Structure 1
Amino acid sequence: MPKFVRFLHDRMGRKKDLTLVVTNLRFGTIPVRLFQPKAASSSPRRRGIIFYHGGGGVFGSLDCYHNVCSFLAQETDSVLLMVGYRKLPDHRSPAMSQDCLAASIHFLRRLETYGVDPCRVVVCGESVGGGLGAFVTQALVGRSDLPSIRAQVLIYPVVQFINLQLPSFQQNEHVPFLARTFVVTNICKYLSIDLSWQDAILDGTFIPPDVWRKYKKWLSSDNIPERFKGRGYQPRFPGPFNETAYLEAKCILDVENSPLLTDDATIAQLPEAFLVSCENDILRDDTLLYKKRLEDQGVRVTWYHVEDGFHASLILFGKKPFSFPCSQKIVDAVVSYIKGI
């Protein structure tokens, strides 16, 4: 079924790139797609964008997000690299994060080849790709052998798998295109956790009390502004601790899987961020939690909230008649931010 859905997504309409040179490459075994403007640049070197697509680790592809990446490259006059990382059901942890990190390092080491300014490289990701962007940006902190990332653009990112009882998870658990049951199922499959532990993950009973005390300051719904706590939200997290569930699901607490949990020293060294959240999105509060973490450590954050937005709306961008106004709003906001760098 995932492969069939990807097949349909890939055939929903790909626009011709009259102003771009589009090249399919492989960095080792990792497929990537490079978008380069044809026109001469007004500066010696162009801005660079590394893009990680969404799809819950199951859907999404180079073709599916072609229109989005083409538009970003055209409108920002940037060289854009989209990474085609490995996904479920054929590949599990840590395939996605390691592919994105490896492809990013490969690109950063060869910026001159692609005519990219090493001082203006932006990491950009949507949904699970936003979480991958956060992970890659953190992993590259302190790398003196590579150009520094100039900014991180994270569009309704997945930054934690731990508190699945945040207000947005309860309010939007059945809103298309990302239901809470789909999230939990994919967490289990990607991290090789038996599906019988889904309820324990949902209720937070796999979290030891001492671990919750350590991370509560970052993960608690207390960090969510009051105006987002309506629509029937009921605080009920975490549930009674289950040690067997912890032994089965403790990998969820790894920073690679939940970049919100990285240490303060790393967070403080991150580049400025542009964060996008959607009101009708199960992951809205992930964005709000990551926003607070960054701001608490002095990282400059620009936040764009889409009141009529919903999860995965970006995947439909440029695919009329299926495209939504909120898709255009998100892309326009991202373009405006990147052009200011």
Structure 2
Amino acid sequence: MAVLSLVLLLGLPVFLLGVFIWAVLKHFLTAEVPSTMPYPVKLRFLHCLILYVIALGNTLEKLRICSMPRFVRFLQDSMTIIEKDPRVVVTNLRFGTIPVRLFQPKAASSSPRRDSYHSLCNHLARETDSVVLSVGYRKAPDYHYPTIYQDCLNATIHFLKDSRTYGVEPSQVIICGESMGASTVAMVTQTLVGRTDLPQTRAQILIYPAVQLLNLQLPSFRQKRNVPLLTHELYMTFLCDYLSIDYSWKNAIWSGAGIPPENWKKYKKWLSSDNIPNRFKNKDQEPQFPGPFNESAYLETKTRFDVRNSLLMADDEIIRQLPETFLVSCEHDILRDDALLYKKRLEDQGVPVNWYHVEDGFHGCVPLFDKKFFSFPCSQNIVNSVVSYI
């Protein structure tokens, strides 16, 4: 028994080192860091860490110890340091079964306070003198679509009805999100259109959202497919996890084989790369899209056609009633063109759009704004732009 314990004790560090070396090799063999991006070494190191954590999570999943998403969430929770800010009051509440966290500036406001939903709650509450509500929606691997949407929708409705309780003027509520959170904000905002029993939201802030899950051959999907932090491989994994689709359908989703020709004919006017400004395209010939139709792929992945997952396909009547929008896109982001397509869709229907395009930005940079060594100029610039807009 002592010998076995010694072997395990010595073997664990060797295993961990081996996995890290594998992550580094995988990064340098597959990742593409554009020469125009500042601090490339920092970005490479961060991406290696992400690959390392995912590899460890996959190993634990194969050993049936715990799932990869649960392992990643455990590490995130363990490594998160919560610093108390004496200028902000933080209160944990429940809206029914949904846990929420309320951030309120201590200083008295001379005018009605606004509200915004955002992961950088403490900073936004302090810098914008706003009441900020963060929704603790249920997450993978235990929950999939449409749980996140339903939780955020229910929390939003609850808050809109009782906003004055928290010192918030109902007409000044802003809904805000980043990445998947931005997609969920767009879903919620579209759902609330036409609700006469609720106050209308003042604006929505969408930071590099995914607003369609059908055309994955847009220029940014091809140009940025290997750019950290959201590579093609990670994007497809997250998409399948979110929609509870078997990973074996990833290639069919990527090629568009699951899109019926009659559907593409209807939605092409909104989803085609023809709607992308020429300066965002390269001279490479675009692949044939969609690929040869596969009915099985369509049946197995048809949740992508739900208008809540492909928000660009909403009726014009819905789109034109959406509130003013602040839209952030990043040049080095696989989802860059989703933002560009949504910008055009909104503007074509007369919705006021404020667009902030970050030339040195990449997907996932916003949460790094205060992470010291791992912070990037684009992270702070986006946060500053959101503060300024609010």
TM-superposed CA distance for 1:18, in Å, is 1.4
- 2:70–2:140 CA contact under 8 A, matched in 1: no
1:37 aligns with 2:93: no
| Match in the other structure for 1:91 | 143
1:234 aligns with 2:301: no
- 1:36–1:80 CA contact under 8 A, matched in 2: yes
Q: Structure 1's 320 and 14: CA in aligned 2 closer, same or farther, altered over 3 A? A: farther
2:83 to 1, 9, 15: 15
Q: Which has the higher contact order (CA 8 A, sep 6+)?
A: 1
1:25 aligns with 2:93: yes
| Match in the other structure for 2:165 | 113
- Encode CA deviations 1:80-109: one digit per residue, 9 max, x unaligned: 001111111111121110011011111111
Q: Structure 1's 184 and 78: CA in aligned 2 closer, same or farther, altered over 3 A? A: same
TM-superposed CA distance for 1:244, in Å, is 1.7
1:175 aligns with 2:242: no
Q: Structure 1's 233 and 39: CA in aligned 2 closer, same or farther, altered over 3 A? A: farther
Decide which structure has greater helix share: 2
TM-superposed CA distance for 1:201, in Å, is 0.5
Q: Structure 1's 26 and 166: CA in aligned 2 closer, same or farther, altered over 3 A? A: same
1:47 aligns with 2:139: no
Using the size of structure 2 for normalisation, the TM-score is: 0.80
Higher mean C-alpha displacement, 162-171 vs 5-14:
5-14
Partner amino acid for 1:229?
K
1:213 aligns with 2:280: no
Q: Structure 1's 169 and 148: CA in aligned 2 closer, same or farther, altered over 3 A? A: same
2:309 to 257, 264, 271: 257
Distance 2:253 2:306 in 1: 15
Distance 2:257 2:90 in 1: 48
TM-superposed CA distance for 1:129, in Å, is 0.5
Distance 2:378 2:291 in 1: 36
- 1:159–1:286 CA contact under 8 A, matched in 2: yes
Distance 1:219 1:240 in 2: 18
Aligned residue-pair number? 322
Secondary structure of the residue that 1:81 maps to in structure 2? strand
- 1:163–1:219 CA contact under 8 A, matched in 2: yes
- Encode CA deviations 1:183-207: one digit per residue, 9 max, x unaligned: 2222223223222211110000111
Secondary structure of the residue that 2:199 maps to in structure 1? coil
TM-superposed CA distance for 1:232, in Å, is 4.7
Secondary structure of the residue that 2:372 maps to in structure 1? coil
Unaligned 5+ runs, structure 1:
52-64
Secondary structure of the residue that 1:41 maps to in structure 2? coil
TM-superposed CA distance for 1:231, in Å, is 7.5
1:204 to 233, 256, 264: 256
What RMSD, in angstroms, separates the aligned Cα atoms of the two structures? 1.4
Secondary structure of the residue that 2:360 maps to in structure 1? strand
- 1:255–1:261 CA contact under 8 A, matched in 2: yes
Q: Structure 1's 297 and 71: CA in aligned 2 closer, same or farther, altered over 3 A? A: same
Using the size of structure 1 for normalisation, the TM-score is: 0.91
- 1:50–1:104 CA contact under 8 A, matched in 2: no
Q: Structure 1's 246 and 13: CA in aligned 2 closer, same or farther, altered over 3 A? A: same
- 1:12–1:319 CA contact under 8 A, matched in 2: no
TM-superposed CA distance for 1:230, in Å, is 2.0
The aligned runs of 1:71-150 (5 Å cut-off) are: 71-150=123-202
- 1:177–1:311 CA contact under 8 A, matched in 2: yes
Distance 1:303 1:255 in 2: 23
- 1:76–1:335 CA contact under 8 A, matched in 2: yes
Identical counterparts, % of pairs = 66
| Match in the other structure for 1:3 | 70
Asked which structure has the greater CA Rg, the reply is: 2
- Encode CA deviations 1:12-47: one digit per residue, 9 max, x unaligned: 43332111101111212212111001001011x211
Secondary structure of the residue that 2:293 maps to in structure 1? coil
- 1:156–1:283 CA contact under 8 A, matched in 2: yes
| Match in the other structure for 2:11 | none
| Match in the other structure for 1:195 | 247
